[in-house]
Amino acid sequence: MKLFSEIYSTYYSITEKILKRHTVTKAEIADIIRQNGFSESVLFLEPKLTGEGGYGLLKKEDSVYKSILKKEPHIPLTALEKAWLCAVLSDPRSGLFLDTEQKSQLAELLGAKKLYQRNFLNCFDQYSDGDDFHDPQYIQHFRDILSAIHGKKLIKISFQTRKDNRITHYFLPTKIEYSAKNNKFRVYVNRYQKRRMVDSGIINLSQVTLTKLTDITPESFLAVTDKKKQAKIKILNERNAVNRFMLEFAELEKESVFDEDSGECMVSIKYDEQNENEIIIRLLAFGPVVEVLSPYDFRRKIKERVDRQLALMKE
């Protein structure tokens, strides 16, 4: 096991939650893992907690499991984790969530040297016109939209389109997403008129010029569903492809089945239809170690891009 891993840290936290329960059923263990882990975590972690030859932290009595520990577990931060958190605090994106004083107080509480400096990182496959995360107006817009998401409230947003048209509407934001390739944040929104949803879309945060919070909670927000598409992908167990794929698409909802005999992993991913082109580009970066199996239309688009690249190479 690595000295520090976001994945394993998540598993530690899940295990801690389970051990703090006096008694827990196998179904409850699975629910806790699903709620706090990754889509594929149940496949790995549940057998380790409940099966023979696992961690040995739970003992089965009748149909329930009990912790073998005499005291509740507590996981302190390691020196390495503290150093990593100090490095994260130096990331300009951290200023979207914390002000300068809060970051200083956290750094003082952690009391560690940064694990790495920002200039140690070289992003070779990222556009250079990313968002300005230091802009006070950008930070305020980000926080207003985040507040609207948490409060499930409508927010008035004005933004400039690519054709330099100014648009102002009331929106219910559903999530904020970061694109590592573009170094930009974008917000998924549902547009409302007279408290009724009329359509949905994506707004780049850098295009937002005004945000104004409201106290309005649409009655229909619980019925709102994102337009999701699903693709089935086969991943070969070469070049650490399975781990790289899971990290690359960590933000997507997915289900995975690993075949130990063949070493192949079958993954179903769900993504927003509006992001399909970006998903295709990210999949192509894996080369021959991944294969899109379905749906046919998505597979066809992948093939067309590969054919175009081959044609360009032959010119």
The pLDDT tens digits of the residues spanning 258-268 come to: 877 777 889 99
Q: What is the C-alpha to C-alpha distance for residues 247 and 243, in angstroms, rounded to an integer?
A: 6
Mean pLDDT across the stretch 20-38?
Answer: 87
| 223 pLDDT higher than 50 | no
Task: Decide: 154 and 148 in contact? Cβ < 8 Å.
Answer: yes
Mean pLDDT across the stretch 71-95?
Answer: 89
Task: Decide: 190 and 172 in contact? Cβ < 8 Å.
Answer: yes
Mean pLDDT across the stretch 41-50?
Answer: 83
Lowest mean pLDDT among 65-69, 75-79, 154-158: 75-79
- Please write the tens of the pLDDT for every residue from 281-298: 899 989 889 999 999 999
Half-sphere exposure of 29 (CA within 13 A, CB side): 28
What is the full DSSP assignment across 245-263?
HHHHTTTSEEEEEE-TTT-
Task: Print burial letters for 63-74: b (CB count within 10 Å at least 16), e (below 16).
Answer: eebebeeeeeee
Mean pLDDT across the stretch 5-33?
Answer: 83
Cα-flanking dihedrals φ and ψ of residue 286, to 5°? Answer: -85, -15
Mean pLDDT across the stretch 23-38?
Answer: 87
| 221 pLDDT higher than 60 | no
- pLDDT band of residue 1 (cuts 50, 70, 90) is very low
| Residue type, position 240, single letter | N
Instruction: Specify the domain boundaries for CATH 3.30.70.240 within the chain.
Output: 228-314
Mean pLDDT comparison of 72-76, 139-143, 228-232, 311-315, highest-scoring range? 139-143
Question: Which CATH number, 3.30.70.240, 2.30.42.10, 1.10.150.120, 3.40.630.30, labels domain 228-314?
Answer: 3.30.70.240
| 3 pLDDT higher than 60 | no
Output the pLDDT for position 297: 92
Output the pLDDT for position 132: 95
Whether residue 173 is preceded by a cis peptide bond, meaning omega within 30 degrees of 0, is no
Predicted TM-score (pTM) of the model is 0.64
% the chain with pLDDT above 70: 94
Instruction: Specify the domain boundaries for CATH 2.30.30 within the chain.
Output: 136-223
| 8 pLDDT higher than 60 | no
CA-nearest of 223, 222, 205 to 146 is 205
- CATH fold for the domain made of 136-223: SH3 type barrels. (2.30.30)
Output the pLDDT for position 163: 85
Mean pLDDT across the stretch 263-279?
Answer: 86
Output the pLDDT for position 220: 57
Indicate the average pLDDT of the chain: 87
